Amino acid sequence: MNSHAPNIRPVIRQLDDSAINRIAAGEVVERPASAVKELVENAIDAGATRIDIAIADGGKTLIRVSDDGCGIAGGDLPLALSRHATSKIDGSDLLNINSFGFRGEALPSLGAVGRLTITSRVPGEEAAQIAVAGGQAGPVKPAALNAGTVVELRDLFYATPARLKFLRTDRAEGQAITDVVKRLAMAEPFAAFTLRDVSGGGEGRVVFRADAESGDLFDALHGRLAGVLGAEFAENALRIDAEREGFHLSGFAALPTYSRGAAVAQFLFVNGRPVRDKLLIGALRAAYFDFLSRDRHPVAALFVDCAPTLVDVNVHPAKSEVRFRDPGTVRGLIVSALRHALAGAGHRASSTVAGATLGAMRPEPVAPRVYQMDRPGPAARQMSYQMQAPAPQPGFAETTLAYSARVEQAPEETPQGPDEGLPLGAARAQVHENYIIAQTETGIVIVDQHAAHERLVYERLKHQMAENGVAAQALLIPEIVELSEGDCARLLDHAGDLSRLGLTLEPFGGGAVAVRETPAILGEVNARAMVLDILDELADQGDSMTVQARLEAILSRVACHGSIRSGRRMRAEEMNALLREMEATPHSGQCNHGRPTYVELKLSDIERLFGRT
């Protein structure tokens, strides 16, 4: 019996196409941004090089996508509005998908919940148009269109008014549409995108615009990312290009000192498709794990390309999640490629550090501007000066000579040293017993001596641990941790990796594991709590950094206590030796928490502070 209707025997019914389409729309079209995503992806699949999007009222009353793609023949328009009708696959192999769309659900779903009009023209034929409202399609009619396709969706969710109550404000929905268009624009740098808000009628205003890029793929991608994410990201991004076992990783990742307070600037793509995948996000987090504190997040735009048979994109109706055939290879590729790029950056810190420093320097208020009409003439100024000049006083001439405008070479002045040609220059002074002032050929460098030396000692300790391994402390009585069989199997799958970090686990029958050894450097630990923390992280991220985090936290603490303390005076040769070691040590541009260890100021910027430009 049906618990919701106990007096009625349930009857199995075949739903009609209209109801089926409305149900499908709930999976595919959650909000106006979902509709924009589906329509723009269709335009990209059609080979469009120019895509124009117009929205009104956050996409609730109007979404119009125009493209210059291959178009749809007039005779195929009714079929395009049928469920599971598509030109992108033949259905014989669902693991060999080379297009964004393939399910054949977007257009019929949109037509079921809104008023949809499609106008299209293929080369050599006349343009045609079809309209559908609430799932009811009209006849195909002749239309006027030069080329490509125009899809217009009005009154989204008018057929399912309950869905309208779950939409956010026009501003929030418009921002979501902008984010979707920006992600798709990143994946297609050779196509032009324009997003226009036409609320209220007329031409509206351009919300986002990205012109087609030229050059090779990396140049085009760099230019597109500069336009979408800003010039600061382009200046502080490292080029990523690596390949492993059929997977190719490309894109750009920012320096650790150019990080964000939330994971809002992480853009991941698989075969050009924007995705939000736990595996990829976890790999990105692991790559920056040692360079950022837990409250900071890396910035990156990464593209994973592989044969379609190596990845399953038919996991979710919105196609925002994927499943790799060999996830370990993809994760290892991302982590190793990013760490190699970060190591190659050496001591480099982000350019925004200097900008923030200059922004913190506030010049003294200046006198109000004097306009030309308020200035006395040259003759009046000379007469006034002569009339107000004091009588000559004894000894006054001698004091003026001491401040002559003539510049002479001081006898103790030394010529430029060879160290000034190096990236961090030559040490010139130490202020407040913590900051080293170094002079370069083009400006000055201010170094936090404690933070810099802490990073150097930390890198040295990590290198020693990698070479000699992690010493394990055997437990006199192994600790038995009771788990479910599923948790036990998940944990033992990672037993090899944990053993290399000094944590040795063995099966103990049923769902129990025996903890035989723990990392010696951690001292006494609560083995059960550590195992449960690892399991939680595995369930959330698919991988665990708990043991490594604790080990590196200890190394960081040792490095902090073993580094140069604030307040210690340093000799010139010690300061220069620290600068040279920073130049030779990767990751020395940021401390163990991702903060910069030095700031470089160009002489031109310093002169601008004093109004000398």
Residue 385 backbone phi and psi in degrees, to 5:
-65, -45
445: amino acid identity, one letter? V
3-state secondary structure 268-329: EEECCEEECCHHHHHHHHHHCCCCCCCCCECCEEEEEECCHHHEECCCCCCCCCCEECCHHH
Q: How does DSSP assign 154-199, residue by residue?
A: ESTTSSSHHHHTT---HHHHHHHHHHHHHHHHHH-TTSEEEEEE-T
**Cα→Cα distances 366→120, 166, 375, 603, 613, Å:** 63, 54, 17, 22, 16
The CATH number of the domain holding residue 612 is: 3.30.1370.100
The CATH number of the domain holding residue 294 is: 3.30.230.10
* 541 exposure class (CB count in 10 Å sphere: 0-12, 13-18, 19+): middle
Is residue 128, in this structure, part of any structural domain at all? yes
> What does the alpha-carbon distance between residue 555 and residue 464 come to, in Å, rounded to a whole number?
11
Is residue 603, in this structure, part of any structural domain at all? yes
- 46 and 190 in a single domain? The answer is yes
- 174 and 278 in a single domain? The answer is no
- 431 and 574 in a single domain? The answer is yes
Strand 62-67 relative to strand 148-154: parallel, antiparallel, unpaired? antiparallel
Query: What pTM was estimated for this model as a whole?
Result: 0.70
Q: How does DSSP assign 38-60, residue by residue?
A: HHHHHHHHTT-SEEEEEEEGGGT
Other beta carbons within 10 angstroms of residue 255's beta carbon come to: 27
> What does the alpha-carbon distance between residue 384 and residue 168 come to, in Å, rounded to a whole number?
70
pLDDT (0 to 100) of residue 80: 83
pLDDT (0 to 100) of residue 144: 92
pLDDT (0 to 100) of residue 412: 44
Is residue 375, in this structure, part of any structural domain at all? no
Is residue 351, in this structure, part of any structural domain at all? no
334: amino acid identity, one letter? I
> What does the alpha-carbon distance between residue 353 and residue 519 come to, in Å, rounded to a whole number?
37
Domain that holds residue 270: 217-344
| Residue 39 structure tokens | 């329509």
Intervals of the chain under pLDDT 50: 1, 89-93, 101, 366-367, 369-373, 395-416
Is residue 282, in this structure, part of any structural domain at all? yes
> What does the alpha-carbon distance between residue 208 and residue 201 come to, in Å, rounded to a whole number?
18
The residue out of 282, 315, 344 marking a domain boundary is 344
Question: Domain tally for the chain?
Answer: 3
Order of strands, sheet of 512-519, starting from the edge strand that comes earlier in the sequence: 472-482, 512-519, 504-507
- 40 and 117 in a single domain? The answer is yes
pLDDT (0 to 100) of residue 146: 92
- 224 and 201 in a single domain? The answer is no
**Residue 298 neighbours by CB under 8 Å, 6+ apart:** 253, 254, 256, 259, 260, 266, 284, 285, 287, 288, 292
The residue out of 187, 210, 233 marking a domain boundary is 210
Is residue 358, in this structure, part of any structural domain at all? no
pLDDT (0 to 100) of residue 395: 46
pLDDT (0 to 100) of residue 169: 92
Question: How many residues appear in the chain?
Answer: 613
Give the torsion through C-alpha atoms of 471, 477, 482, 483, to 10 deg.
10
The residue out of 177, 210, 243 marking a domain boundary is 210
- 513 and 533 in a single domain? The answer is yes
User: Which strand (E) or helix (H) includes residue 574?
Assistant: helix 572-584
> What does the alpha-carbon distance between residue 266 and residue 275 come to, in Å, rounded to a whole number?
10
Number of helices and strands (H, E) in the chain? 20, 23
The answer to whether 115 touches 140, Cβ cutoff 8 Å, is no
User: Which strand (E) or helix (H) includes residue 241?
Assistant: strand 237-244
Is residue 373, in this structure, part of any structural domain at all? no
The answer to whether 244 touches 329, Cβ cutoff 8 Å, is yes
pLDDT (0 to 100) of residue 76: 87
User: For residue range 444-488, what is the model confidence (pLDDT) as tens digits?
Assistant: 999 998 888 888 888 887 777 777 777 888 888 889 999 888 888
- 231 and 175 in a single domain? The answer is no
Is residue 413, in this structure, part of any structural domain at all? no
- 516 and 455 in a single domain? The answer is yes
- 481 and 527 in a single domain? The answer is yes
- 507 and 610 in a single domain? The answer is yes
Lookup result for tokens 């009585």? 477
- 33 and 99 in a single domain? The answer is yes
* 498 exposure class (CB count in 10 Å sphere: 0-12, 13-18, 19+): buried
| Residue 311 structure tokens | 């990845």
Q: Which stretches within 214-269 are classed as H helix?
A: 217-229, 231-235
End-to-end CA distance of the chain: 86
pLDDT (0 to 100) of residue 24: 56
- 448 and 597 in a single domain? The answer is yes
